[in-house]
Amino acid sequence: MFNGILIDKDDSGYHVKLASIDESQLPAGDVTVRVSHSTLNYKDALAITGKGPIVRQFPMVPGVDLAGIVEDSSDPDFKSGDAVVLNGWGVGEGHWGGLAQVARVQGKWLIPLNAAFTPAQAMAIGTAGYTAMLAVMALEKNGVTPDKGDVLVTGANGGVGSFSIALLAKLGYRVVASTGRASEAEYLKQLGAAEIIDRATLSEPGRPLAKERWAGAIDSVGSHTLANVCASTRYWGTVAACGLAQGMDFPASVAPFILRGVTLAGIDSVMRPRQDRIDAWTRLATDLDPKALALISHEIGLSEVVATAHRLMDGQVRGRVVVDTGR
């Protein structure tokens, strides 16, 4: 038996609880992991609160991230005792995820835990930090270097936003952070933001083409915000889009792309090939200041997950939530 967050649905409604689960209930997979740490992402909060159609089958253990030690494996790439990390691949949605003390998964979804990080540190980074690193790498690939000008980060107080600021600042970029929480300005400056702007300046319908303001951007908001970000990007700039906090719609025109040569780079972290994942985690080991983790993350136990998920959906949680499955 092991403890985990279990979501179920029946004729009486949607149910979420911390449950004692028998290992015989684990789904199919070729690697069994003793999970020491997981995280609580926005997607997990949607699943736990039932406010988004995240869970595709029931019952379900949520959790798109996990870190732990391999207990048993029939995958030749992993053996008992190996430290591993998993981000994405649909776990917590269509396959039981990391918010439990044990997980059974496909070996092809795992990568070795980078030696630079403890399991808790890896989960402080989690999908958010890994996604932010992929976004920074996309900007670099498209020639957005520190000398080209400012880089905007939207959704700055969230996990992806926080890591984006920390990574970009350490790499020498001047970062402009967009937030709806003015009270968090000092936190964003501690991460490395040089300028703070109100998200309201980007979140309403805007012009197809606006004044050039930044050489690149990392956007986790979508909708009108993403449209306005693209409209304000300089000639030959790149916008890395990786979220939809404001919405899935994109009410924009082609003007920024055909008149200024702007690139819109989509960042998918869920189905990324293994080598891309290893490359991103290798970069995180060198490009992320470890001191940022203490600013960006805090830790809770499994027993606190459900209540924290509701607070996250109400916009009351800053940065990253690490879950210690042992408490």
Indicate whether 228 belongs to any domain: yes
pLDDT value for 181: 86
Residues 108 and 136 in one domain: no
Task: Give the pLDDT score at 201.
Answer: 95
Q: Please tell me the pTM assigned to this model.
A: 0.94
**Residue 318's pLDDT band (boundaries 50, 70, 90)?**
confident
Helix boundaries (H) for the chain: 42-49, 119-141, 159-170, 185-191, 200-203, 223-231, 255-259, 274-287, 291-296, 305-313
Residues 80 and 157 in one domain: no
146 and 108 together in one domain = no
- Whether 280 maps to a domain, the answer reads no
Instruction: Report the CATH number that the domain containing residue 56 is assigned in CATH.
Output: 3.90.180.10
Verify that 104 and 170 share a domain, yes or no.
no
Residue 273 lies in a domain: no
Residue at which a domain ends, from 246, 266, 286:
266
Q: Is the alpha carbon torsion for 17, 317, 174, 151 positive or negative?
A: positive
Domain co-membership, 13 together with 142: no
Are residue 71 and residue 138 in the same domain, yes or no?
A: no
Last residue of a domain, one of 223, 247, 266: 266
pLDDT at 36: 98
| Residue at 277 is within a domain | no
What letter would DSSP give residue 204? S
Closest alpha carbon to 314 in 44, 16, 45, 92: 45
- If you ran DSSP here, which 8-state letter would residue 62 be given? -
Q: What is the CATH number of the domain that holds 193?
A: 3.40.50.720
Residues 147 and 225 in one domain: yes
- pLDDT (tens digit, 9 = 90+) per residue, 204-221? 999 999 999 999 999 999
pLDDT band at 315 (very low <50, low <70, confident <90, very high): confident
121: in domain: no
Residue-range definition of the domain harbouring residue 179: 127-266
Within-domain flag for 122 = no
Mean pLDDT for 19-31 is 97
Helix (H) or strand (E) segment spanning residue 251? none
Could you tell me if 137 and 254 lie in one domain?
A: yes
The DSSP bridge partners found for residue 19 are 4
Residue 319 in domain:
yes
Percentage of the residues of the chain whose pLDDT score is greater than 70 = 100
Task: Using the predicted structure, report yes or no on whether residue 290 has a pLDDT greater than 90.
Answer: no
Tell me whether residue 136 is in a domain.
Answer: yes
Please check whether residue 295 is in contact with residue 157, taking contact to mean a CB–CB distance below 8 angstroms. no
pLDDT at 75 over 90: yes
Residues 149 and 262 in one domain: yes
pLDDT in tens, 77-116: 999 999 999 999 999 999 999 999 999 999 999 999 999 9
Q: Which residues contact 306 (CB under 8 A, 6 or more apart)?
A: 5, 16, 17, 18, 48
139 and 252 co-located in one domain: yes
Q: What pLDDT was estimated at residue 317?
A: 84
Torsion sign (Cα): 81, 84, 90, 93: positive
Tell whether 200 and 255 lie within a shared domain: yes
Domain count, the chain: 2
